[in-house]
Structure 1
Amino acid sequence: MATNVGNQRIIPLEEGWNDEIKAKAIDKLEALLNGEMKSGSMFGPKEYVQIYTTCYDMCTQRSPYNWSRELYQRHGETIEKYLTTTVLPALRDKTGQGGTILLTELRHRWLNHQIMNKWLKKFFTYLDRYYVKHHSLPTLSQAGLRCFRTKVYDEMKGETTNAILGLINDEREGKIIDKSLIKSVVELYESMGMGSLDAYNSDLEEALLNSTREYYAKKREDWINDSTPDYLIKAEEALTKESKRVDDYLNSASEMKILKVVEEEILERVEMVLLEKESSGCRALLQNDKSEDLQRMFRLFSRLENGLNPMAAIFQNFISSMGDDIVNRRQARLEGGEKDKNDDPKFVKSLISLHEKYLGVVKQDFSGHSLFQKALKDAFVEIVNKNVGQFTNAELMSTFCDRILKSGGEKLSESEVEESLDRIVQLFSYLTDKDMFAEIYRNQLAKRLLTQRSTSDDSEKLMIAKLKMQCGTQFTSKMEGMLSDLAVGSEQRSEFENRMRSVDSKLDFSVQVLTTGFWPTYKSPEVALTPEMSKCMDIFKDWHEQKHQKRKLTWVLSQGNASVRGVFGKKSYDFQVSTLQAIALDAMNNGVTMTFQELATKLNAEESILKPLMHSLSCGKYKVLIKTPPGNKINPTDTFTANPKFTSNMRKLRIPMATLESSLNTKRVEEDRTIAIEAAIVRIMKARKTLQHQQLLSEVLNQLAFFNPNPRDIKKRIEGLIDREYLERSADNAQVYNYLA
């Protein structure tokens, strides 16, 4: 019974606890949780306020009647008693009856505990606000959780963890389980960490990872006899399901750990076995263009640290072997008797197709990954620099460009030309001897421009721009100079043609002036010209000297061309020929017969020039001259005369002649390389002043982008620079060089 002290009403501890709090709150709460009362009978506002007020009054009475400490203690005892007398026996009773039954009971008891904790906190709110805070004690919620952990969770966690793992493995085997049940119990594990995941990690996650490892180790043994694609389909499906499993009922922090365990067991441990399977491994998938399977293989092995390295190595070896097949087929054709020429479009197109195909595989199937880009590059560097026959791949590739860019070559639209040039430049980027390609390409470009056989200036500029992007301005400066020469020279040509119209001449005569530094060096034979040609040349020389007094002219007759009218019977033809051929035809005019030696004397021509010249006119497709004796070879004893029976369906005919120049001037390339090596050495030594031999060698090799010099050549150039006193050997160490300013 309450008493009064002064004017304040005092509630004794036992009376307040037993008659008010226990009888009206705790006993009713336990009855509700035990199902002895309907849940609808939970505390109404009036009841709640009454109980709260009692607790409040008991905590605010003056000492010694302030019962805060006692109420805090009895709050904990109440929860502990309920857990030990009601909850634990119920859970023990369900042990051994099956994982679902035990977990269902645990969920039920955990939800009840949360309800109890919530209501007790409401009743004792004043305790939480003042007494707990003032004495730095665990809050009522924390105290309730700790009690559940020590009295229930610690005893039952082994059984419940095994039950959870059993249900997860059931689901992995395709059985239907109650996911919401597991999710609720997982939330209990999370709550037992009191704000951290320590309990979840140590009591559930660790066991789950071990169980997952055991499960997939067995699956790996079951699946390994499948084909690689089938195995990887199962592996990807397993990883997807494990990820969804985490979303469904596990803590998100477990996802990476679980997936890592699965990846180690079903991918990492058998990676090489899967990749190297003879009939279904990586090589077989590449061979059979299995794009979808390759994409899956890439996705899965990219999950592993360094997992793509073996796959990229197989990819590189596969491309190398495909390239070797193309090279070997060319070798077989040459050994089979096919003539070795610098023009082999079939070979170059095969390389382009191979590159285009597997560049597509890298982009589409391997997501453009840098490892596979490098594998493709390394394979093609090996393939493209493997020469067969007397002509290098650099020459074959340049000649392929020549076919595309000259009239009468490949019949392509503008877009097809650009596409073909793009692809050949991609191959070019793998060439070690880019300077060799540049020399050949420049010669062929010059020939196209001078003979006016270039299909399009725009295409020529486009190709030069692509090479410039690959190698820089230095690489293409001479080519650009050649095009510039022709553009600038067109105005002067027009001016000179106007001058020629005022002269009484039987010839239409024009001259192209070239800048020596841009164009290849050509042979310039001093042949005897026709009087009319000499007259026209003198006119031009006088005109040119008036305009450009300090410029020296050198005539390059081997690069000139002419149109010659030939009359055979009643038919006339226009022959498109070189200047040298025109001179020879003029010498054979009016049906004269001349020996080879007589012609050589009359034309003042060397045998090395006259032989290909007469061969083109008497042994080619259009036999304008007759050679005696007949045959396909020119001998010094042969005689020649005009062919009176010559006839053709076409009125305009082009008579080709074997070039007097090689498209590759090896000596010039070697000279350029010597200059480039020495320039690199001097540039490096000027910056570094002192350098050890091996370091200098390494830096020179890094700087030279257009070719790959032999270290022996670099050493020779170093010796040459020492002799010329650009460098000196260190007095202390012969392997160290000093720069001499």
Structure 2
Amino acid sequence: MSNQRKKSFQIEAFKNRVVMDPRYADKTWDLLEHAIREIYNHNASGLSFEELYRNAYNMVLHKCGEKLYSGLVATMTAHLKEIARDVEATQGGSFLEEMNRKWNDHIKALQMIRDILMYMDRTYVPGNKKTPVYELGLNLWRDNVVNSDQIKPRLLNTLLELVHSERSGEVINRGLVRNITKMLKDLGSFVYVKEFEFHFLQVSAEFYMLESQKFIECCDCGDYLKKAERRLNEEMDRVSHYLDPMTEKKITNVMEKEMIENHMLRLIHMENSGLINMLSDDKYEDLGRMYSLFRRVADGLLKIREVMTSHIRESGKQLVTDPERLKDPVEFVQRLLDEKDKYDKIINLAFNNDKLFQNALSSSFEYFINLNPRSPEFISLFVDDKLRKGLKGVSEDDIETTLDKVMMLFRYLQEKDVFEKYYKQHLAKRLLSGKTVSDDAERSLIVKLKTECGYQFTSKLEGMFTDMRTSVDTMQGFYASHPELGDGPTLTVQVLTTGSWPTQSSLTCNLPAEMSALCEKFRSYYLGTHTGRRLTWQTNMGTADLKATFGKGQRHELNVSTYQMCVLMLFNNAERLTYKEIEQATEIPASDLKRCLQSLALVKGRNVLRKEPMSKDVGEDDAFFVNDKFSSKLYKVKIGTVVAQKESEPEKLETRQRVEEDRKPQIEAALVRIMKSRKQLDHNNLIAEVTKQLQSRFLANPTEVKKRIESLIEREFLERDDVDRKLYRYLA
């Protein structure tokens, strides 16, 4: 293969230099300037945009960009100065319309001019750090029209006057105002803010300051809030229709400060119409409006919450300390529930279920419920009333709802163990008298208590139900082994486990011979089937059904207590008995015997006995005999049914002492648990931890905790540090 000879080429310059026509740039610019003027004069239809673009392109290509750019500035400036003079000369209400028309014309012209000069925009402008054509047109409009000495103040005043007119109820051309504010925004955010928004906010602050002063003097709180809410909505509506969206936060801040924040306390405390009046009269709509407006300002909700909390605490304190209201425990608790329902509804409907308000309500209730040391007892009595009698004409769901509400109050109790003491007594009476409304309702409440306080709290209560079930089986076994007992008196015994049931005194009485024989047979049967057990009869807790025949052959079945049965059966063998004879024959304790005779002889419609002399009280010298004239429309007559009553002062004291005794081992157990895990701890921290551990059952008294610490030191569970006497150590 042969080598090819390399060929080289050389390009030489023109022998004669090419010179551009010196008048080319001027001629081309004259064409372009004429076109720009025609565009501004609305004669663009006769122009060839392709030819104009090529001319502008060639000017830039031939290094005449500066001439093109500066010529554009001069032409546009001259034209905009003419426009400014036209706008300045416009009279009256046509001012904004003329401004808007000229602005729209300018924008359309500017878009065409930008298209013609597109090549300059892409090459010359960035290379020489010039302003792009479209932006240049906006800047020149701003400098020559908007910032004209004659136009600038007039434009601002016209806009502010229109806003004021609208606030005064007049209808304005919102579309026109929107176009003008958009023009200011298009010229740059700073133009809109500086030339309009800043002044708009100032004027608005003055307007609302004066209006709020006028309203606060002549309106009640509810009306004032309605007006404030309407104004707020108007401002947000105004922004959405013709102002920049960024203005909304600023104008609402102004309005909130002038109409709400500056008058908060006066509105809340306004006489006869403020917050307390709204709360008292359940004005949900007004309260909701106050909540939604006040939440917009700093500390607004805090102020509402403070006043509401103070009001609830004060009214609650009056509720739980009023001696008149303490006479009826059931009504006392019902009032608490009604009060809780009232404020729950307010928080739900008006305060958007706000957690802060829910917490304030809970802390208020906890405060005043525990001001009355009898609250645990009264809540238990309320439960007893509902589960004994039931709620007339209501379903099990309603009973469940009532129990849920009671549990809410129970959570507020600091002394839950005191409630437990009373609840156990009342439950025992319901179960033993067979007067509970339903086992399901009883068990439902125990499940709720277990969920709230744990198994230990309810284990003994559940043991009571177990005893009742076991007793049914025991009685079936007893009668199966004694078929001969079918014709005579019948006996139903409930065998109660000592640890599960409330502690009872072992006082008994002399039963009638017929019943005494039956009891002995049951004792023999029970002890024969269960070894190592001991039975103690609790005659003060029993009931009996007696068949009685009165003077004219009237027959009734009397439902009485065991004590009442013992008294009445004495009259099978005697016409007349004195108090002392009855006491001697029955050996019923004096206080119980007097109550028993009162219920038999002194209660109208239930007086199966009569006494001499007639008086309201039973005396030791009284004599009793059967009331032959007794009659009742009912065949079965209940006499002195066992109903849980409010404790007397001595009984209350005794219960309190039992509670205090029960607390001692619990405090000691908590102390040992804490010290065993911590090994050593100072006095204050130990007290704090014990209080925290026990608060689900009761509020531990620091003095009692201190005594328990001393007791544990004596028994060598703990010891004091030799140097720091306030430091304790656990002794393993």
Does the 8 Å CA contact 2:376/2:413 hold for their aligned counterparts? yes
Please give the residue correspondences for 1:425-464 in structure 2 after superposition, counting only pairs within 5 Å.
425-464=407-446
Structure 2 match to 1:56: 57
Q: Which residue of 2 is the match for residue 580 of structure 1?
A: 563
> Which one of 328, 334, 351 corresponds to residue 366 of structure 1?
351
Q: C-alpha distance in 2, partners of 1:13/1:397? A: 111
CA distance in 2: counterparts of 1:8 and 1:712, whole angstroms: 120
Distance verdict in 2 for CA 1:201–1:345, change over 3 Å: same
Contact 1:450 1:559 in 2 (8 A): yes
TM-aligned CA distance change 1:512 to 1:10, over 3 Å:
farther
What letter matches 1:581 in structure 2?
A: Q
Note the C-alpha offset of 1:158.
Answer: 5.0
For 1:289-308, what aligned pairs fall within 5 Å after superposition? 289-308=282-301
| Alignment check: 8 A CA contact 1:275 1:282 kept | yes
Return 659-668 or 394-403, whichever deviates more: 659-668
- Give how far 1:449 is off: 0.8
Relative to 1, partners in 2 of residues 1:648 and 1:591: Cα closer, same or farther, differing over 3 Å?
Answer: farther
CA distance in 2, matches of 1:582, 1:739: 58
* Residue range with higher mean Cα deviation, 498-507 or 94-103: 94-103
Deviations 1:374-412 (A, max 9, x none): 34334433443444xxx9233333222222221488665
2:71 corresponds, among 74, 78, 103, to 78
Q: Could you tell me which residue of structure 1 aligns to residue 698 of structure 2?
A: 707
Do 2:56 and 2:116's aligned partners in 1 also have CA atoms closer than 8 Å? yes
Q: Does 1:88 align with 2:42?
A: no
Kindly state the Cα deviation for residue 488 of structure 1 after the two structures are TM-superposed. 4.4
| SS, match of residue 557 in structure 2 | strand
Residue 168 in structure 1 maps to residue 163 in structure 2: yes
Give, in angstroms, the shift of residue 239 of structure 1.
0.7
Residue 576 of structure 1 aligns to a residue whose secondary structure is: strand
Residues 645 and 215 (structure 1), Cα distance of their counterparts in 2 relative to 1, 3 Å cut: closer
1:337 matched to which residue of 2? none
Shift of 1:644: 4.7
CA distance in 2: counterparts of 1:178 and 1:647, whole angstroms: 91
User: Is the contact made by 2:84 and 2:148 (CA closer than 8 Å) also made in structure 1?
Assistant: no
Find the partner of 1:678 among 630, 649, 668: 668
Q: Is the Cα–Cα contact under 8 Å of residues 94 and 105 in structure 1 kept in the other structure?
A: yes
Distance 1:204 1:345, change over 3 A: same
SS, match of residue 225 in structure 1: helix
- Which of 217, 221, 235 is the aligned partner of 2:213? 221
8 Å contact from structure 1 (residues 591, 642) kept in 2: no
> 1:525 corresponds to which residue?
507
> 2:274 & 2:354 partners in 1: Cα distance?
20
Q: 1:471-482 maps to which residues of 2 (within 5 A)?
A: 471-482=453-464
SS where residue 453 of structure 1 aligns? coil
Structure 1 residue 304: deviation in Å? 1.4
Cα gap change, 1:540 to 1:729, in 2 (>3 Å): same
Deviation, structure 1 residue 444: 1.0
Counterpart CA distance in 1 for 2:492 and 2:701 is 47
Tell me the SS of whatever aligns to 1:303. Answer: coil
Q: 1:328-339 residue pairs with structure 2 within 5 A?
A: 331-332=323-324
How far apart in 1 are the matches of 2:429 and 2:34?
109
SS in structure 1 at match of 2:548 = strand
1:724 and 2:715 matched: yes
Whether the 8 Å CA contact 2:235–2:251 is kept in 1: the answer is: yes
Q: Do the aligned partners of 2:471 and 2:493 also contact (CA within 8 Å) in 1?
A: no
The CA deviation string for residues 598-634 of structure 1, in whole angstroms up to 9 with x for no partner, is: 4444444443444434444344443444445544434
Counterpart CA distance in 1 for 2:466 and 2:91 is: 90
State the Cα distance separating 1:99 from its structure 2 match: 8.7
2:572 matched to 1:589? yes
Q: How many angstroms does 1:231 deviate by?
A: 1.8
- 1:251-304, Cα deviation, whole Å (9 max, x unpaired): 212211210111001110011112212132222333444332222222211211
Are 1:633 and 2:624 an aligned pair?
A: no
| 1:281 and 2:278 correspond | no
From 17, 20, 26, the counterpart of 2:28: 20
Over 3 Å counting, the alpha-carbon distance change for 1:146 and 1:284 in structure 2 is same
In 2, Cα distance between the equivalents of 1:14 and 1:283? Answer: 91
TM-aligned CA distance change 1:713 to 1:606, over 3 Å: same
- CA positional deviation for 1:76: 3.4
Return the offset for 1:182.
2.9
Q: Is the 8 A contact 1:76 1:144 kept in 2?
A: no
Superposition map of 1:555-566 within 5 A: 555-566=537-548
Shift of 1:651: 2.7
Q: What per-residue deviation string (whole Å, max 9, x for no partner) do you get for residues 311-370 of structure 1?
A: 233333444454456557x53578xxxxx5xx4444443333333233222211222223
Task: Determine the C-alpha separation between the residues in 2 that align with 1:497 and 1:550.
Answer: 22
Alignment of 1:488-507 (within 5 A): 488-503=470-485, 506-507=488-489
Q: Deviations over 1:183-207 (max 9, x none)?
A: 23333333333xxx34434443333
- How far residue 136 of structure 1 moved from its aligned partner, in angstroms, is 6.5
Q: Distance in 2 between matches of 1:401 and 1:706?
A: 19
| Residue 737 of structure 1, CA deviation | 3.9
User: Could you tell me which amino acid in structure 1 is paired with residue 712 of structure 2?
Assistant: L
User: Which 10-residue stretch deviates more, 295-304 or 708-717?
Assistant: 708-717
SS in 2 for 1:653: strand
Q: Which residues of structure 2 form unaligned runs of 5+?
A: 1-12
CA distance in 2, matches of 1:7, 1:464: 117
Cα 1:600–1:734 shift into 2, 3 Å: same
- Judge conservation of contact 1:616–1:658 (CA < 8 Å) in 2: no
Superposed CA deviations along residues 66-109 of structure 1, whole A, max 9, x for unmatched, are 32xx32x3343234213432313542564596796554454444
> Quick one: distance in 2 between partners of 1:492 and 1:11?
133
CA separation of 1:678 and 1:189: change in aligned 2, threshold 3 A = farther
Partner SS, residue 20 of structure 1: helix
Give the distance between the partners of 1:96 and 1:19, measured in 2 at CA: 36
CA contact (8 A) 2:209 2:258 kept: yes
- The verdict on how the C-alpha distance between 1:8 and 1:410 changes in structure 2, with shifts beyond 3 A counting, is farther
Pick the aligned partner of 1:32 from 23, 39, 44.
Answer: 39
- SS of structure 1 residue aligned to 2:501: coil
Equivalent position amino acid for 1:126 in 2? Y
Q: What corresponds to 1:178 in structure 2?
A: 173
Measured on the aligned residues, the alpha-carbon RMSD in Å equals: 3.6
CA distance in 2 between counterparts of 1:167 and 1:58 reads 48
- The 8 Å contact of residues 528 and 604 in structure 1, kept in 2 or not, is answered as yes
Flag the 1:82–1:690 CA change in 2: closer, same or farther, 3 A: farther
State the secondary structure of the residue aligned to 2:435.
coil
CA distance in 2, matches of 1:294, 1:75: 68
1:212-251 paired onto structure 2 within 5 Å: 212-227=204-219, 228-251=221-244
- 3-state secondary structure, aligned to 2:300: coil
Cα distance change of structure 1 residues 676 and 152 upon mapping to structure 2, 3 Å threshold? farther
Inter-partner Cα distance in structure 1 for 2:15 and 2:228: 79
Q: Is the 8 A contact 1:678 1:717 kept in 2?
A: yes
CA contact (8 A) 1:107 1:185 kept: yes
Q: Does residue 245 of structure 2 align to residue 252 of structure 1?
A: yes
Q: For the residues of structure 1 that align with 2:55 and 2:641, how far apart are their CA atoms?
A: 121
Q: Would the aligned equivalents of 1:433 and 1:707 in 2 still touch at CA under 8 Å?
A: yes
- Closer, same or farther: CA 667–517 of 1 in aligned 2, 3 Å: same
2:343 counterpart letter in structure 1: Y
* Aligned twin of 2:336: 351
Q: Which amino acid aligns with 1:582?
A: M
**In 1: Cα distance, 2:205 partner to 2:615 partner:** 84
CA distance in 2, matches of 1:142, 1:637: 118
Aligned partners of 1:616 and 1:657 also within 8 Å = no
Aligned residue among 540, 563, 579 for 2:522:
540
Paired residue secondary structure (2:51):
helix
Q: What residue in structure 2 maps to residue 125 of structure 1? A: 118
Letter in 1 for 2:336: L
Letter of the aligned partner of 2:269 in structure 1?
E
